[in-house]
Amino acid sequence: MALGLYSLIEAVILCLNAVCVLHEERFLAKIGWGSDQRGFGEEPGMKTQAVNLVRSIRTVMRIPLVGINVVVIALKLVFG
């Protein structure tokens, strides 16, 4: 299997799907990546920035990923 543009796009879609299904209370909080309360003016740490990135990806990409997944599944069914 050669690494082509479609394989790269498919890998990105799979990673976005993985980020979107992470659940804060069930998964992220158990490994210590839950919501951290910080004071006003304090610089957020790496964990806080990563959790905020997961939240923003989940918020922005949830609806478009449904359509993208349908298209990818249809292409897989037609072209194998």
Per-residue pLDDT tens over the stretch 40-50: 667 777 877 88
Q: Model pTM?
A: 0.71
DSSP states of 57-77 as a string?
A: HHHHHHHHHHHHHHHHHHHHH
DSSP states of 2-55 as a string?
A: ---HHHHHHHHHHHHHHHHH--IIIIITTTT-S-----TTPPP-HHHHHHHHHH
In this prediction, residue 73 carries a pLDDT of 92
Q: What is the mean pLDDT of the chain?
A: 82
Please report which confidence band the pLDDT of residue 37 belongs to, taking 50, 70 and 90 as the band edges. low
| Residue 79, H or E segment | helix 46-79
Please report which confidence band the pLDDT of residue 64 belongs to, taking 50, 70 and 90 as the band edges. very high
In this prediction, residue 30 carries a pLDDT of 67
- Residues 58/61/62/68 CA torsion (nearest 10 deg): -140
Of 37, 39, 57, whose CA–CA distance to 47 is shortest?
37
